[in-house]
Structure 1
Amino acid sequence: MTLPSAPRRRPFRQLDVFADRSLRGNPLAVVLDAEDLSDEEMQRLARWTNLSETTFLLAPTDPGADYRVRIFTGSGELPFAGHPTLGTARAWLDAGGAPAGERIVQECAAGLIQVRRDGDRLAFAAPPLRRSGPLEEVDVARIARALGIPRADVRGHSWADNGPGWRVVELGDAEEVLALRPDLSAVQDLKIGVLGWHRSGGDRPPETSGAPLYEVRAFAPGFVEDPVTGSLNAGIAQWLVGRGGVPPRWTAAQGTALDRAGRVDVQVEADGTIWIGGGTVTTIEGTILA
């Protein structure tokens, strides 16, 4: 009979991501030394933290990466996720990590992700979409039922899948998004993103106004509502850029319905690279026995 190994003290951080102060963004747990943890132990720890994601820092296997991260929800592992990318990068930097080059290079199951610093803010380069294009009508109808709205209220729809499998629907405006009272039992296996434009005097606010361009909400199986979602916002930005009519730089709001103040910075470079960024704030720092 093999006895379980004794737990070790491991550096641990909990952060708020896409926020400028604690308790207003999306929380993330980071285990900074996960080298000898098994898949089962990582999954068990992720269930225990009871957050949408928990990440585990490892030595890179790709010579071009500064570190490797594994990202777990309470039910499984993700190849990529946005707020875990920024939060893990912040925890790694604060623990003394130093990138080999100008940018931080994160290795994850989705490949190598570039992370850049802009003062005290971080941003990741949106990974390529695994699936794009309009949704099937059967999915649009299912999403409308889950959201509790008529099918006719859906103004646009698209896949925005860069790993997690997001499907996005567009409503008439931000007020419609914030008024949603979804039936989460009807979400089933769907990961649903919803966006609606903020209006000012009947028009979308200019990118120089500092106001959010649109409001986002995210619903997925296994949790009620995600406060602020980097991967979804990256997919939405790629959809909107491909569609045209957006400025080269803007801010999206998310979490308002949950009393959060999530703000996602989006910047489109001349070469088409889309950067998704925001604030990262450490809320808990210490060790965990695992």
Structure 2
Amino acid sequence: MPIFAFETVDVFTDQRFGGNPLAVFKDARGLSAGQMQQLAFEFNLSETTFVLPPENTANTARVRIFNRTTEMAFAGHPSIGAAYVMARAGLAEGDHLRLEAPAGIVAVELERGQAGEVIGGKITAPQPLSTGPEIGADTIAACLGLVLDDVVTSTHAPIVASMGNPYVFAELRHDAIARCAPDLTAFRLALASRNDLGARFSIFVYVRDGDQIRARMFAPISGTWEDPATGSANAPLAGLLLQHSTANDVAFTVRQGEEMGRPSLLRITASRRGGEITATVAGHCVPVFRGEAVL
């Protein structure tokens, strides 16, 4: 029976059992898409990543990323975590990797410690910022068990934004973020009431104090009740905040996952060049498990 090796790492943390856990299959050749989905469902993590040879030899690898229910076009902690695992295993040369994902090329710059060891990475989101429809503040409140006044609209209304993976972004009052309690029925009703959201309705909420941000992300429809650290959402968050400023560059430190007992630390930046806004997300990784799947 075929055997497929995997490793797990905690991403966006320097402490084991913090951050966002990820399973990485370093050589997924021979696995079908259906098997990848089954393995992701079995691991029951926010995402599981499968590394394949690149379609273009100018790139480092092709990655397929699955959450519990579907394949994703792009995700942040799986991209950083996969690059970290590949580098430690000697499967990637140099400190600059190019990962092929359905949303485009994810550029990864490895980060190293004082002894030269790989400790994490920084990704550039594969697409510039794009924004979609606005969502009523009352919908956000209903989905998260809040009241209408908890949703802040002075910087921007709740809105869909993406750099490869769409989320609904909403700012909250500082005392509201700890009170979020997602309501799956309200999420489903919100998605069913719209014809402009596709099949995704995931809400990313945040509070901000200068360049310090505290955030939470809820995606119960796709099987992730709450995510400890969401790179593919923090990238467009940086872009969205830049869009609503007069600056050309911004940088923030984001804390996420604290309510879950998995504190995560992300460093995000956004830059405005011409008519496009691009963003990066960076953080550290910690190895946890190694094992094999026999299929």
TM-score bracket, shorter-length normalisation = 0.7 to 0.9
Is the CA contact 1:78–1:163 (under 8 Å) kept in the aligned structure 2?
no
Shift of 1:123: 0.7
Q: Which residue among 12, 18, 21 is the counterpart of 2:6?
A: 12
Shift of 1:270: 7.5
Is 1:286 matched up with 2:291?
yes
- The equivalent residue for 1:112 is 105
For residues 230 and 254 of structure 1, the distance between their equivalents in structure 2, rounded to whole angstroms, comes to: 10
- The equivalent residue for 1:51 is 45
Is 1:143 matched up with 2:147?
no
Shift of 1:161: 2.1
Q: Which residue among 61, 69, 78 is the counterpart of 1:67?
A: 61
Structural mapping, 1:1-290, within 5 Å: 6=1, 8-99=2-93, 103-119=96-112, 120-129=119-128, 131-132=130-131, 135-137=134-136, 140-156=137-153, 157-173=158-174, 175-188=175-188, 189=191, 190-198=201-209, 204=210, 213-220=212-219, 221=221, 222-244=223-245, 248-268=250-270, 271=273, 273-290=278-295
For residues 268 and 76 of structure 1, the distance between their equivalents in structure 2, rounded to whole angstroms, comes to: 28
Any idea what the Cα deviations from partners look like across 1:200-252, whole Å, max 9, x if unmatched? xxxx3xx5xxxxx0111000112211111101111111101111278733210
Shift of 1:46: 1.0
- The equivalent residue for 1:210 is none
Bigger fraction of residues in strand = 2
1:118 to 1:273, Cα distance in 2 relative to 1, 3 A:
farther
Is the CA contact 1:172–1:197 (under 8 Å) kept in the aligned structure 2?
no
One-letter identity of the residue aligned with 1:227: P
One-letter identity of the residue aligned with 1:64: A
Shift of 1:126: 2.0
Tell me which moved more, 257-266 or 183-192: 183-192
For residues 164 and 278 of structure 2, the distance between their equivalents in structure 1, rounded to whole angstroms, comes to: 18
One-letter identity of the residue aligned with 1:78: M
Q: Which runs of 5+ in 2 are unaligned?
A: 113-118, 192-200
Question: How many residue pairs align between the two structures?
Answer: 268
Is the CA contact 1:158–1:239 (under 8 Å) kept in the aligned structure 2?
no
**Identical columns (%):** 34
Is the CA contact 1:103–1:114 (under 8 Å) kept in the aligned structure 2?
yes
One-letter identity of the residue aligned with 1:240: L
Shift of 1:96: 0.7
Q: Specify the SS of the correspondent of 2:226.
A: strand
Q: Which runs of 5+ in 1 are unaligned?
A: 1-5, 199-203, 208-212
One-letter identity of the residue aligned with 1:277: A
One-letter identity of the residue aligned with 1:180: C
Any idea what the Cα deviations from partners look like across 1:75-109, whole Å, max 9, x if unmatched? 1100101111111111111111223x651100111
Is the CA contact 2:143–2:184 (under 8 Å) kept in the aligned structure 1?
yes
Is the CA contact 1:52–1:74 (under 8 Å) kept in the aligned structure 2?
yes
Any idea what the Cα deviations from partners look like across 1:12-48, whole Å, max 9, x if unmatched? 1011011111111111111111111111111111111
Is the CA contact 2:125–2:164 (under 8 Å) kept in the aligned structure 1?
no
Q: Specify the SS of the correspondent of 1:143.
A: helix
CA RMSD of aligned residues (A): 2.0
Shift of 1:141: 2.5
